[in-house]
Every structure is written in C-alpha cells, then in structure tokens.
Amino acid sequence: MSQRYEYKFVRLGQGFMGVKRAAREQYQQVIHENARDGWRLIQIFSPGVGPYGGATYYELILERPVP
C-alpha cells in the first residue's frame, strides 16, 4: 500500500509592485508554524511577475502524509 499525501498552498505577500517586505522577512516563520502541524515544505513558487521581473507573491507548497 502506497503512502498518500495532502497538500496545502499558502500565498504570501501579494503586491502590485512586488512581494511585500513583510513576506520576504517572515516566510521562514510561516514554514516553522506549519511544520509544528506536520506539514513539510516542498517548494517556494513565485509565479507572478511584476515590474523589473520581480515576483509579485510567493506561494509555499506544503505536504503531509494522510493518516
């Protein structure tokens, strides 16, 4: 029997001119908070592109095993 996982997507710092400063400084805290609940960081994704090629937000992709 193979292990099943559930996924969680957390969007941080969406702004018109780029990722908000607070999100750039606090993403590690968000990861640690979710880790206490059993979530594991898989990827930090920055799909939006704002002025000068900067990301407009970060999306944290987390997973944990389904019991």
What confidence tens digit (pLDDT) does each residue in 13-53 have? 766 555 566 666 788 889 999 999 999 999 998 876 777 77
56 vs 4: which has the higher pLDDT: 4
Q: Is the pLDDT of residue 12 over 90?
A: no
- The pLDDT of residue 37 is 96
Q: What is the DSSP string of 1-60?
A: ----EEEEEEEE---SSSS-HHHHHHHHHHHHHHHTTT-EEEEEE---B-GGG-BS-EEE
Q: How far apart are CA 40 and CA 63, in angstroms?
A: 5
At residue 19's C-alpha, the angle toward residues 14 and 64, to 5°, is: 70
pLDDT category at 54 given cuts 50, 70, 90 is: confident
User: Contact at 8 Å (CB) between 58 and 1?
Assistant: no
Q: Domains of the chain: which residue ranges?
A: 5-65
- The pLDDT of residue 7 is 98
